[in-house]
Amino acid sequence: MNVTDDKTIVKEYFNSTGFDRWRRIYGDGEVNKVQLDIRTGHQQTVETVLSWLKADNNLAGLSICDAGCGTGSLSIPLAEAEAKVYASDISEKMVGEAKEKASQILANAENPTFAVQDLETISGSYHTVICLDVLIHYPQQKADEMISHLCSLAQSRIILSFAPKTFALSLLKKIGSFFPGASKATRAYLHREADVVKILQKNGFSVQRQSMTRTRFYFSRLLEATRQ
């Protein structure tokens, strides 16, 4: 499978079965046990990012690009904390849901701004660029290109999460249970931390804070890197 296929499949998935599945997982309605576990794990990742950013005490007015924003799980609380958020996602459906949620929760309809856009084509310059749980959909070489592009947009800081290769066997098995069956599936790629750090360094960034969220079915390594 080539890279274009990966992206086309991911886009179609998040506009169809993937949308229904992840909207439920990222929502607050009733879900099955596996989905509840993934919801809990993902919330922990989001909470960790929010706690890092809030600890710096400079969120108000800070420009943040949330690349692959999904249903707005991070963008919306960041906007609530008065950051200026530029949220985008390759999936029209995910962006639609994010907008709907934002309109229910936030008083200001202009922040975040939402766009249907693949992250490879994002332009502009942002204090902080964040990309959570997106790289899992792409092989290493493509992930390297994506990370390099995101670094080029970041004035000061980039925050990324990925599924670490260390847990390969158990993770692959578990991913099998939340991406079941070829018709519903996207491939799940694991990334070696050393490879991610190397590409960050190549782009002039060094890791400052790191975290690992691990539940039964959700594994996400989180890195914050700043410009050297």
Interaction residues for ligand SAM, span 114-153 (CB under 6 A):
118-119, 132-134, 137
Residue closer to ligand SAM, measured from CB, 76 or 194: 76
Cβ atoms within 10 Å of 58's Cβ, excluding its own: 11
Query: Judging by beta carbons within 10 Å of its beta carbon (0-12, 13-18, 19+), is residue 228 exposed, middle or buried?
Result: exposed
| From 35, 41, 53, 68, residue interacting with ligand SAM (rule: CB under 6 A) | 68
Q: Give one word for 70, left, alpha or beta, with left for phi > 0 and alpha for psi -120 to 50.
A: left
Interaction mask 80-109, ligand SAM, x per CB under 6 A: ---------xxx--x---------------
CB of 153 to ligand SAM, least distance (A): 13
Residue closer to ligand SAM, measured from CB, 3 or 206: 3
Q: How many Å separate Cα 142 from the centre of its chain?
A: 15
Strand partners, 128: 64, 157
Number of shown-chain residues binding ligand SAM (CB under 6 A): 20
Instruction: Report the alpha-carbon angle 138-38-188, nearest 5.
Output: 20
CB of 168 to ligand SAM, least distance (A): 19
Residue closer to ligand SAM, measured from CB, 45 or 203: 45
Residue closer to ligand SAM, measured from CB, 48 or 203: 48
DSSP string, 197-216: HHHHHHTTEEEEEEEEEE-S
Interaction residues for ligand SAM, span 168-187 (CB under 6 A):
none
Interaction residues for ligand SAM, span 9-48 (CB under 6 A):
10, 14, 22, 26
- Collapsed DSSP state (helix, strand, coil) of residue 15: coil
d(CA 134, CA 207): 19
Tell me the residue nearest to ligand SAM as measured from the CB.
Answer: 70
Residues near ligand SAM (CB under 6 A): 7, 10, 14, 22, 26, 68-70, 73-74, 89-91, 94, 118-119, 132-134, 137
